[in-house]
Amino acid sequence: MSDPSGGYSGRTASPSDDADRAVLVLVADGQLDALQDLYDKYRTMAYSIALRITADASLAEDVVQDAFLGAWRNAARYVEGRGSVKTWLLSIVHHRAVDAVRRRKPTTELPEAEAVPPSNLTLPDIWSEVAGNLERDEIATALATLSDVQREAIELAYFGGLTQQEIASRTGAPLGTVKSRIRLGLLSMRHALVGAGGTLAADGFGDEPS
């Protein structure tokens, strides 16, 4: 895509996004003070998410450290057009936090040495994001499109670190119901976010949902 703004029809990247990308270039170049800038900008958000998921201050610190170290090492792998630096970073935090919670829970501990790819490999470069710099109230509006049960299922997964099966046993709903709540909830949010002015990032979706 030669036109850097080509992927963003409704909105362009905010100055904050651009500044973040510039900082990330320096991080990729091994500049410690750039990492510190990035940390200072997002530490509160990162820590708050980690704390909410782990409900353990010390574990949350480890998660944030792990995530920023991951960003420090993998900054060069951040792909522009797949969302902002902020969402990239926060998705790393989220994944590490969920991994940490899972490791702590004996019931869902990974079987020994099985070929389970650590889930942070699956993030965050597998998908494109909803781009654009959506405001918090727009996100709130998108969330408001969810039914209570959809929101509950999604929050149990995202903030609770529960698997779909665990959500099913926790809520008493059949697994298939949980799966469709999550799927429909995410789709509903997506439509609302796109409708709020976010566009689909960069290339990718030939078949736009109508």
Partner 1 sequence: MTEQPMTHAQAIDLAAGYVLGALEPAEEAAVHAHLRSCPESHHEFEELGGVVPYLAEIPDLELVEPPASLRDRIMAAAAADLAERKSSATAEPAATTEPPAPVEPTAPPGPDAAPLTFPSTAERPARRDQISPFGWAMRIAAVVAIVALAGWNLMLQGQLDRTQRYDRAVADVIAAAGQPGSQSVILKPNGESTARGIGAIRSDGTVVLAMRDLQATSGTQVYETWVITPGEGVAPVPVGSFTVDVNGTAAITTAPTTAPPGSVIALSLEPGPGSTAPLGPIVSTGVGVAPAG
Q: Where are the alpha helices (DSSP H) in the chain?
A: 15-28, 32-54, 57-74, 85-104, 136-144, 148-158, 164-171, 175-195
What is the size of the binding site for partner 1 (CB under 8 A)? 97
Positions in 136-155 near partner 1 (CB under 8 A)? 136-137, 139-140, 142-143, 154-155
Cα separation, 27 vs 19, in Å, equals 12
Cβ distance to partner 1 smaller for residue 20 or 95: 95
Between 3 and 208, name the residue whose CB sits nearer to partner 1: 208
Residues 17-76 that bind partner 1 (CB under 8 A): 25-26, 28-33, 35-36, 39-40, 43-49, 51-52, 60-61, 64-66, 68-70, 72-74, 76
The nearer residue to partner 1, 173 or 186, going by C-beta atoms, is 186
Contact 140, 175 (CB under 8 A): no
First-to-last alpha carbon distance for the chain, in angstroms, is: 24
Does position 87 bind partner 1 by CB under 8 A?
yes
